[in-house]
Structure 1
Amino acid sequence: MAVLFSSCGKQDKQPSPERPNIIIIYLDDLGYGDVSAYGSTTISTPNMDRLANEGLKFTRGYAASATCTPSRYALLTGTYPWRNKNARILPGTAPLLIDTSMITLPKMLRQQGYKTGIVGKWHLGLGDGSIDWNEQISPGPNEVGFDESYILAATQDRVPTVYIENGNVVGLEETDPIMVSYSENFEGEPTALDHPEMLKMKWDHGHNNSIVNGIPRIGFMKGGQRARWIDEDMADVFLEKAREFIHNQRESPFFLYYALQQPHVPRTPHPRFVGATSMGPRGDVIAEADWCIGELMKTLEEEGLLENTLIILSSDNGPVINDGYLDQAVELLGDHKPSGPLRGGKYSLFEAGTRVPFLAFWKGYIEPGTSDAMISQIDLAASLAELTGSSATFRDSENMLPVLLGRSQDGRKTLITEATGRTALHYENWLVIPPNNGPEVFQNVNIESGNSAEYQLYDLTTDLSQQKNLAPGDSARLNQFIQIYKNLTAIN
């Protein structure tokens, strides 16, 4: 490892340049404009702002994809998700997406002496394709590098609606086994279509199957009544498990992947946070998530670990307002712009699909500031390998450690981003979107897809909102970028 720091080493808990604790805080569908440090004047996020104001705020930090599963795959494997045809939004019964023989971020850190844990959303598949939810579920997070795992299998809006701890459903009773299907309902089980009177949250599109806790879901489920989560308690449950992991591992270096479920649908703030904003459940769960981050920071301070912990915060993709439930997110949006100055959102090839909040905080090592360097979540694997002295390599991950720590502005030159199987090229500060079939607007979510019959070329230096397609008048530059794009996306 290159020597980037010096340390006095006078106390056991002084920051160590080679073995800091590492926490990745990963939010779900949080937009570039949803954080007040990124310009929001309608939502207050004081704890995320603290990370931004006392750490490094990236203006060009990217998720690998405009949807969840592919971004999470890239984060943990350092591999572009479009290289894996199965890296798409997965149902709750999908087999494990990550090959257990692959080197992963947690596996690499475990090899370097770290205790590794995941708390929160997984959504990378479980088992081998024939899961029995009433037995030990394997392979899963524990088989790809995590010593401890406390997860929801897929998303909050999908069955099974249970927590899984180290491969076992929490609170499951032998007399009430769980059955899950994504093809047909179980006899006698109510759905949103035939029992709308049972709903406390109404659906708009795609969420009309089994009802759990008064909320209609994607997929069908029977049994496991005592094991089913209460949605409003989820943030508290995950926070407590994250704090517990930190407390138990405080004497050794640890890696915590804290994958919050907010502000993904269904948005179910705890009663403490109902009305925290003027924007209804979507705004309230962002406030709740921010509070959770503050509580996690308090835990680090109480344990004397804050100065020896690198914290990275980001989101798996851009924002979506109506993603399947009628929760007044559209009606109460007001002047708030979840995408900030960017165009598009979740599912989109435009900037708002993948340009997300991206913060790095390490008290005493990262100087407060703003970085305009291009960096991707896919680069965390190689960067943290460099930080911890690992020789592990990852296919598409670039070592951005000097950038991540604010020692350099020399970020990525090229990046391929993905959205529901379609890809685009970022070259320096240019965005190139190849022709794609399909609608220009995804009507269900009212988000521009980025699809067009022609190439699109945008200069993000002067046109951050991507309003002027320069491709028709700059064929020489476009042809140069097309060749770069073809070279980068050729699968070897």
Structure 2
Amino acid sequence: MKYLLSALCLFLIVFFLSCNRSPSGTKKSTEKKTGPKRPNVVLIYTDDLGYGDISTYGGEIPTPHIDRLAEDGLKFTNAYTTASTCTPSRYSLLTGEYAWRAKGRGVAPGDASSLIKPGTETLPGVLQKAGYKTAVVGKWHLGLGGEDGPDWNGKIAPGPLEIGFDYSFLIPATGDRVPCVFVENHHVVNLDPDDPIQVNYRKKVGNWPTGKDNPELLTTKWSHGHDMTIVNGISRIGFMTGGKAALWRDEDFADKLVEKSTAFIRENKDKPFFLYFSTHDIHVPRIAHERFQGKTDRGPRGDVIVQLDWTVGELTKTLKELGLEDNTIVIFTSDNGPVLDDGYEDQAGELVGDHHPSGILRGGKYSAFEAGTRIPMIVKWPRQIKPGSTSGTLFSQIDLIGSFAAHTGQDIAPGQAPDTQNHWDVLTGKDSAGRKGVVQEATHGVLSYVSGDYKYIPPSDGGPKITWGPDIETGFSENEQLYNIKDDPSETKNIAEEHPGITGKMREELMAVREMGR
């Protein structure tokens, strides 16, 4: 009996020890789990925010909440969107495919049909397959509906819910385009069926006044191209009539988007979630809420930067209150470079002062120069990323889908997301070996190429300046251009003739990317 008891005790001791060790033989962690195993993801995608627009990148307008993201996370100095305009950059971000690979993916009109078709692999779709709840809140500008465009008075589909999002609350295109209504999931919010919406981008519909014919009704005057239907004292691109009960108030954009976003976070706090928070700020028309108007001496553009900073603070505050901060990846970035006068007389140029929206870079929105596509990008993940880090590694937003697919163990179907790469370790600050090169798309579909220390811009027939209003250099020339953007980030000296070997190599690499998949 004594030997039997001893054997039993020995068995229990061995069993106890084995239960407290992992298969590798190391001791199991006794740390209590405080959140989902997979990190939540909040992607804050801002609009027209330049490389030098926020104070952590040298801007003169205070942005303490955004600066805190950088203090607590990783700040990129060499990150790119894929285009210097919004629709193609958003398309590439979500699909992992350069927008220029097919026609019809330029800046979309407000009544465009869905550019991302059902069945396309997308960033939200990848995360949805990995068990995430997914939402998009804010500016969309990727088209809605079938081949005939959206049915504003019925079910609006396909749209975000058909390409990987579980919930959507949208500004259908942009604030400067009709219809001036929100779309939640498949329907216009607060639409009165007895007051149907009509939209037309070619001819006037209804009898609502326009900025061109009734300038006395405007609270914000147009400068170029925004002289059609007036809504909320602001004339827009395009004509509309009807839907009065559903019309938005521009001053409420930030509050409404924060309200919907924080509600989604609270509803899904016990499961992994992905929130694509697509701000309207700082796109035109720049109409801050009354409590932010006059907060800066830079006019409405400065005020909406302060408002943008507040929205970031509200989202991060919610994450902290719910105990989600440590295991949430917050990515803050922009869709393209900055612009001052983009269609409204809001004194953006007159009051800019010593604030430099492009920082040390040349160009801006629409441009082939660096300020068109090199954008601020900050990634915060307290559980994994060392606070106060900086990365000069080349990173492209097109790689978000490939990186998150790899991290969550999801395969991307053959033929889908053809241009994305897995750079998870770059995104999280663990690796300095980024992608070899990235193609940038400027207005009129002009492509340029960045690789290593160099930037190559091929010859183009376009003129040197934007012709329809904004005071921005296009970066176009009849000659090849090569810049050493490490030593000359302002692109002041074209060295193409001095370095024919590098120029030729860059030309060939750009051509190879263009021909891929044809």
TM-score (norm 2): 0.92
Structure 2 residue corresponding to 1:11, chosen from 21, 24, 32? 32
Aligned position for 2:301: 282
Structure 1: state its 5+ residue gaps. Answer: 1-5
Shift of 1:314: 0.4
User: What do residues 194-216 of structure 1 show as CA deviations (whole Å, max 9, x unaligned)?
Assistant: 11111000000000000000000
Map of 2:510 onto structure 1 = 485
Aligned mate of 1:407, from 425, 430, 445: 430
TM-superposed CA distance for 1:389, in Å, is 1.6
Output aligned runs, 1:297-312, within 5 Å.
Answer: 297-312=316-331
Give the counterpart letter for 1:453 in structure 2: E
Check the 8 A contact 1:184/1:220 in 2, yes or no: yes
% same residue: 50
Question: What does residue range 18-29 of structure 1 map to in structure 2 within 5 Å?
Answer: 19-29=38-48
Q: CA deviation at 1:477?
A: 1.6
Choose the corresponding residue for 1:430, options 445, 454, 457: 454
CA deviations 1:31-51 (Å, max 9, x no partner) are 0000111111x1111111111
Q: What is the aligned counterpart of 2:157 among 118, 132, 138?
A: 138
Task: State whether structure 2 residue 420 is matched by structure 1 residue 397.
Answer: yes
1:320-351 C-alpha deviation (Å, 9 max, x unpaired): 00000000111101011000000000000000
Q: 1:186 to 1:7 in 2, by over 3 A?
A: farther
Give the counterpart of 2:494 among 458, 462, 469.
Answer: 469
User: What stretches of structure 1 move > 3 A for 4+ residues in a row?
Assistant: 6-9
CA gap of 1:23–1:9, structure 2 versus 1, over 3 A, is: farther
8 A Cα contact 1:118 1:256, kept in partner: yes
Question: Within 2, Cα distance between the matches of 1:15 and 1:133?
Answer: 38
Distance 1:363 1:15 in 2: 14
Deviations for 1:114-164, whole angstroms, at most 9, x for unmatched residues?
000000000000001322201010000111110000001100000010000
Query: Could you tell me how far apart the structure 1 residues matched to 2:86 and 2:277 are?
Result: 15
Q: Is the partner of 2:497 in helix, strand or coil?
A: helix
2:336 to 317, 327, 330: 317
The one-letter amino acid paired with 1:12 is: K
Contact kept, 8 Å, 2:42 with 2:331, in 1: the verdict is yes
Match for residue 3 of structure 1? none
SS in 1 for 2:252: helix
Is the CA contact (8 Å cut-off) linking 1:15 and 1:309 kept in structure 2? no
Deviations 1:411-460 (A, max 9, x none): 11111111121100111121000011111011410100010000000001
CA distance in 2, matches of 1:111, 1:412: 26
Q: What amino acid maps onto 2:463 in structure 1?
A: P
In structure 2, relative to structure 1, the CA distance for the partners of 1:7 and 1:441 (3 Å cut) is farther
Q: Residue 63 of structure 1 contacts residue 377 of structure 1 at CA under 8 Å; is this kept in 2? A: yes
Larger-Rg structure = 2
Aligned equivalents of 2:333 and 2:36: distance in 1? 23
Q: Residue 383 of structure 1: which of 403, 416, 425 is its match?
A: 403
Q: CA RMSD in A?
A: 1.3
Amino acid at match of 2:435: R
TM-score normalised per structure 1: 0.97
1:73 alignment partner, one of 72, 77, 91: 91
Question: What letter corresponds to residue 162 of structure 1 in structure 2?
Answer: V
Structure 1 residue 395: Cα displacement: 0.9
Give, in whole Å, the separation in 2 of the partners of 1:7 and 1:51: 33
Cα deviation, 1:366-395, whole Å, max 9, x if unaligned, reads 012000000010000011111212122631
Q: Deviation string for 1:352-371 (max 9, x for gaps)?
A: 00000011100121012000
8 Å contact from structure 1 (residues 83, 491) kept in 2: no
Gap regions ≥5 residues in structure 2: 1-26
- SS class of match (1:338): coil
